[in-house]
């Protein structure tokens, strides 16, 4: 099914997975599947159409949290390197974590919200 194919591709390489538009360009039917999964909170969609399975996004939160517990504060570039991803992915991730109250932005730095 398209659902299983989508979830498998997102999980295969979460921090470099195709974005929403790339899936739709490949097969317009993906749009319905993505909206359904997003509404059921099985996938998370960030700015720029970046998609994660719920499980993978929770793992990212854990990795960022553990990193910031050790470092106390870090620039986006440091967190990007730690997760071995690109700026295209890290900025929307950090913005979502700020929005969720996991992190706070302080100038160029992110730290955990206590």
The pLDDT tens digits along the chain (114 residues) read 999 999 999 999 999 999 999 999 999 999 999 999 999 999 999 999 999 999 999 999 999 999 999 999 999 999 999 999 999 999 999 999 999 999 999 999 999 997
Residue 76 CA to residue 1 CA, distance in Å, equals 36
pTM: 0.94
Instruction: List CB contacts of 50: < 8 A, sequence separation 6 or more.
Output: 17, 19, 20, 88, 89, 92, 93
């Amino acid at each position: 099914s398209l659902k299983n194919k989508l979830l498998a591709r997102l999980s295969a390489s979460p921090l470099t997975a195709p974005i929403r538009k790339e899936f739709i360009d490949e097969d317009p039917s993906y749009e319905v599947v993505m909206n359904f999964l997003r509404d059921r909170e099985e996938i998370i969609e960030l700015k720029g159409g970046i998609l994660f399975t719920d499980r993978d996004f929770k793992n990212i939160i854990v990795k960022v949290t553990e990193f910031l517990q050790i470092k106390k504060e870090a620039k986006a570039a440091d967190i990007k390197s730690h997760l071995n991803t690109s700026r295209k992915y890290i900025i929307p991730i950090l913005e979502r974590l700020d929005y969720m109250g996991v992190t706070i932005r302080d100038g160029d730095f992110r730290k955990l919200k206590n």
